[in-house]
Chain A
Amino acid sequence: MPRHLAAKEFRKADMSNVQQETFDIIAKQAKIDIETIKPESTLKDLGIASLDAIEVIFDIEEHFNINLPNEDTDFDNGTVSQLVDAIERQLAQKSTEG
C-alpha cells in the first residue's frame, strides 16, 4: 500500500520530504543507489527509459495520490528537480482543493 500524504498535513516544511520520497521511488524502480540521483539528473541519465520511466511516474502518482500531466513528465529533458517541483505543485493544488 502506498503511504499517502494527507493533503492537510502537507506544508512548505515538507518539501524536502517530497524530494526524499521521490528519490526513494526512483532508486527503487531503477535499482540504483539513491546517492547517484542528483537534482539535475534526467530519468534518461539515470538509465530509466521507456516503460520503466512511465512506471516511475505511476509509482509517484500512487504514492502521493496525485495526477501528473504528460507535460510534467519529459523523460529525456526534464530533470528530477523539475519532477519534484511538479509533484509539489500537484500536492499544493490538492491541499487548496482539500
Chain B
Amino acid sequence: MRRIVITGMGAICALGHDAPSVWKAMTEGRSGIGPIHHIQPGQLRNGGIAAEVVDYDPANFFDEARRALLDTFSEYALIAANEAIRQSGIRFEGELGQRTAVVIGTGVGGETTRDDLYERLYGEHQGRFHPLGIVRMMMNAPASQVSMVHGITGPSFVVASACASSNHAFAQAAMMIRTGLVDAAVVGGTEACITLGTLRAWEAMRVLAPDTCRPFSQGRRGLVLGEGAAMYVIETLESARQRGAEIICELVGTGMSSDAGDIAAPSDIGAAAAMNMALRDGGLSPGDVDYVNAHGTGTVANDSTETKAIHRVFGAHARELAISSTKPMHGHALGAGGALELIAAIGAIHDGIVPPTLNYLGPDPACDLDYVPNEAREMKVNAAISNSFAFGGLNAVVAVRRAP
C-alpha cells in the first residue's frame, strides 16, 4: 500500500494568520476567544463570544480582481493552501497537476455572502443582487479557487459533514492517493461562520456557552464557535523522497462511521467505531497512540460521550493517553475543526509538546481521563489521532505518526 506523508501545512484562525503562529499559540495555551467584533452587540442572547480571526485584511493577501470572487471561507482556504504549498515546495506542473486532488471540508459554506444578500432581500427589500453572489457562496468555491490559483487539474471537490467535514476530506484524499488515482492532494478544511444568522441558529439549539469553552471540565456550559482554515499538502512517501521534500509526519489512517441514531445527540458506539477504524487502517494498536486530540466541544453530552468512546477503544491504555481539546483556543470551527486540530496532533509529534485543554476547572465524574488541563506538556509523541464527530451522527478520525 502507498504510504502518505504530509509535506506542507498552512493555517489561519483566531490564533494567527499562519501555521507557525497557530502552533506557537497552542503550545503557549493562548485563547483566541473573545467578544465578537463583526456582529453588533445586543443581537445575541448570551452577549456573544467567539474565536474570530482578528487583524485580518483580505487586501494583504489578494488583489482586487481575485477578492471580488471570494467569500471569506474561500479567502481562508486560499491563504492556508498557499502557505502549505509554499512550504512543501511542490509544483503542479505537467502531469503532477493532473495527478493532484483538492479536497476541502466545509460545514456551512459562504455564509457571509449569503447573510449580506438576504439582508438586502428581506431586510432592505432591495431587489438587486450582486452578480458574483453565487460564485462566492457556492460550497465548492474554495476547492475551485485553490485549483485555479495553483493549476491543479485533478479531482477537486468539497466535502460536507458539519463538524467532521475536514476529517472526511482527509479520508477522501488519502483514499485517492492510495488507489493510485492521484499522487498528491491539497486537503483540509475551511469555515467562516461568525455571522448573525449562523450564531442565532446555534444559539437556538442551546449549545453555545455564555462564559467560555471548557471541555471535559466540571461546570462546562457548551461550545464557542470559531472560524478559519487549515490546509495541507499530502503526497506519497515516494514522491516526497524523490523531491527531497521535508516530511512533517505520516498520515497513516482514517476512520469513518455513522451513528444512525439521533440527529444531534452523540453516540459513544459510533465515535468508537471511527477511532477503531482509523487505528486499524493505520496499522496501529491502541497502545501505539500517545496523544488524542479530542473533538472536545465543551458540551455536557459530547465530552462525556467521547470519554466513554475512548475507554471503549483504548481499554486500560486510555489512562495512559494524553488527551486534549484545543477548542478553547481556536473555538469550534465546524467544517475547519479537524484541519485546525491536526496542527495540534502534528505539532505534538514534531515538537514533543502536547497543547493543553484550557479553562479546566476540575474533574467531572463522567470525564475521568487525563485531559492535559490548562498547561502544555512536554512529552514524546510517536502517534496521535484527531477526532471529529458531527451533528447528524457522522464521525471521522485521522491517525498520524512520526515521519518515517
Q: Is the CB of B264 within 8 A of A51?
A: yes
Interface residues of B in 184-232 (CB under 8 A from A): 204-206, 210, 221-222
Q: Is the CB of A70 within 8 A of B221?
A: yes
Q: Is the CB of A51 within 8 A of B204?
A: no
Closest to A51 in B: B264
Q: Is the CB of B206 within 8 A of A67?
A: no
Could you tell me the distance between the alpha carbons of A67 and B200 in the complex, rounded to whole angstroms? 13
Tell me, yes or no, whether A49 is within 8 Å of chain B by CB.
Answer: yes
Report the tally of A-B residue pairs with Cβ distances under 8 A. 22
Tell me, yes or no, whether A41 is within 8 Å of chain B by CB.
Answer: no
Say which residue of A51, A57, A70, A73 sits within 8 Å of B263 (CB atoms): A51
Say which residue of B206, B262, B264, B265 sits within 8 Å of A70 (CB atoms): B206
Contacts of A70 in B (CB 8 A): 46, 206, 210, 221-222
Question: With A58-B204, A67-B45, A70-B221 as given contacts, are A50 and B210 in contact (CB-CB < 8 Å)?
Answer: no
Question: With A49-B265, A70-B221 as given contacts, are A54 and B206 in contact (CB-CB < 8 Å)?
Answer: yes
The minimal Cβ–Cβ distance linking B142 to chain A, given in whole angstroms, is: 30
Could you tell me the distance between the alpha carbons of A54 and B204 in the complex, rounded to whole angstroms? 8
Question: CB-defined interface of B341-383 with A at 8 Å, one 1/0 digit per residue?
Answer: 0000000000000000000000000000000000000000000
Q: Is the CB of A57 within 8 A of B262?
A: no
Contacts of B204 in A (CB 8 A): 54, 58
Contacts of A50 in B (CB 8 A): 262, 264-265
Say which residue of B206, B221, B264 sits within 8 Å of A73 (CB atoms): B206
Could you tell me the distance between the alpha carbons of A44 and B183 in the complex, rounded to whole angstroms? 52
**Chain A to chain B contacts (Cβ below 8 Å), 22 pairs:** A49-B265, A50-B262, A50-B264, A50-B265, A51-B205, A51-B262, A51-B263, A51-B264, A51-B265, A54-B204, A54-B205, A54-B206, A57-B206, A58-B204, A67-B45, A69-B45, A70-B46, A70-B206, A70-B210, A70-B221, A70-B222, A73-B206
9 nearest A-B residue pairs (beta carbon): A50-B265, A51-B264, A50-B264, A54-B206, A70-B206, A50-B262, A54-B205, A51-B263, A73-B206
Residues of A with Cβ closer than 8 Å to B? 49-51, 54, 57-58, 67, 69-70, 73
